[in-house]
Amino acid sequence: MLDKDLARVLDLLEQVKELNKMIDMHKTQSNDSFMVNQYQDMKNRFLEELKEILSDFQIEVLIKDKAA
């Protein structure tokens, strides 16, 4: 179980890293607010999952700049 959680944490961090790139690209190059919102929503869902996993390790996470 622990190894599965650790692998998922790494996966989530990689997903967030890639989503950050996509969000930045759509903000700066295409000015596509719909796509920015879609990627931000995906990122928020990944961050919530990460927060849940880390709470099992007694780590409290505050998510910065969370979209409404």
Residue pLDDT, tens place only, 42-58: 999 999 999 999 998 89
Predicted TM-score (pTM) of the model is: 0.85
CA distance linking residue 18 with residue 55, whole number of Å: 24
Percent of the chain with pLDDT over 70: 93
Residue pLDDT, tens place only, 29-42: 988 899 999 999 99
CA distance linking residue 63 with residue 41, whole number of Å: 13
**DSSP conformation class of 62:** -
User: Band of the pLDDT at 68, cuts 50, 70, 90?
Assistant: very low
Question: In angstroms, what CA-CA distances link 34 with 26, 27, 40, 41, 60?
Answer: 9, 10, 10, 11, 31
